Amino acid sequence: MATANRNRRLQKEIADVHKDTHSGITLTSPTGSPEITDFTRFKGHFVGPPDTPYENGHYEVDIRITPEYPFKPPEMKFITRIWHPNISSQTGAICLDTLKSAWSPVLTLKSALISIQSLLSSPEPKDPQDAEVASMLLTRPEEFAHVAREWAIRYADAPRPGPGSGKTGGGKKERRRQEEREKKKAEERRRREAYRGYNPAMVERFVGMGFAVEQVVAAFEYVGLDKNGGEEYEMEEEYIGDVTARLFGEM
């Protein structure tokens, strides 16, 4: 009786997936046939989400139904190789709460596959399945995006971007992050150049009086203040007076 009830539920789940033409989720037999007669083993299919290194890749997931389903989650692992911190690059094992402690009998194969698809958009490198991939994402995000995209092209049949498309890495989000990093680096470089080798803290004491950095540095240079290799030191009162006078146009 339990097996019959489980199979009826799975038949309904399969029918719901086939009716849904928007999610991009499909279920087939392990051989890829749309005709499913064995309700203990399936193959899940979905497309990699946009604005990720996995965009437009075609991913397959092995699904095994345990006798305890739906009270225990299905066993799922990637068939398609993928470079992702929460998925083993060697075995395809998936680290996802939905397939473990967060599973509920109200969830379905479709909702589980959608959760896996969403995981590609929101990796969790601090709770990894693959430590090597997680370390790369945390310390070298640009390299991670490049490798993930190359794996998507090689193993998931994702299209290779054309020249100038800007999609060789992690999509729009990664490009925005890279642009922000470059902007911050440029700003920091301009600040360092503005101090012309003087210690920033010494310059800022006079900036706090309402003068621009450039004015203070010019005054330092005018009175011949020692740069001291950029290290901070106590200015002599005579120099403080000369710099102040220069700033106020008194010399």
Residues with catalytic annotation?
95
CA 93 to chain centre: 20
- Alpha carbons 187 and 181: distance in angstroms, whole number: 10
Sign of CA dihedral 26, 29, 35, 36: negative
Tokens for 222, please give them: 């005018």
The number of beta carbons lying within 10 Å of the beta carbon of residue 60 is: 18
Percentages helix, strand, coil for the chain, rounded to the nearest 5? Answer: 45, 10, 45
Tokens for 100, please give them: 């473990």
**Phi, psi at residue 163, to the nearest 5°?**
-55, 135
* Neighbouring C-alpha atoms within 13 Å toward the C-beta of 28: 11
CA 75 to chain centre: 26
CB 49 within 8 A of CB 113: no
Tokens for 234, please give them: 């106590």
CB 221 within 8 A of CB 196: yes
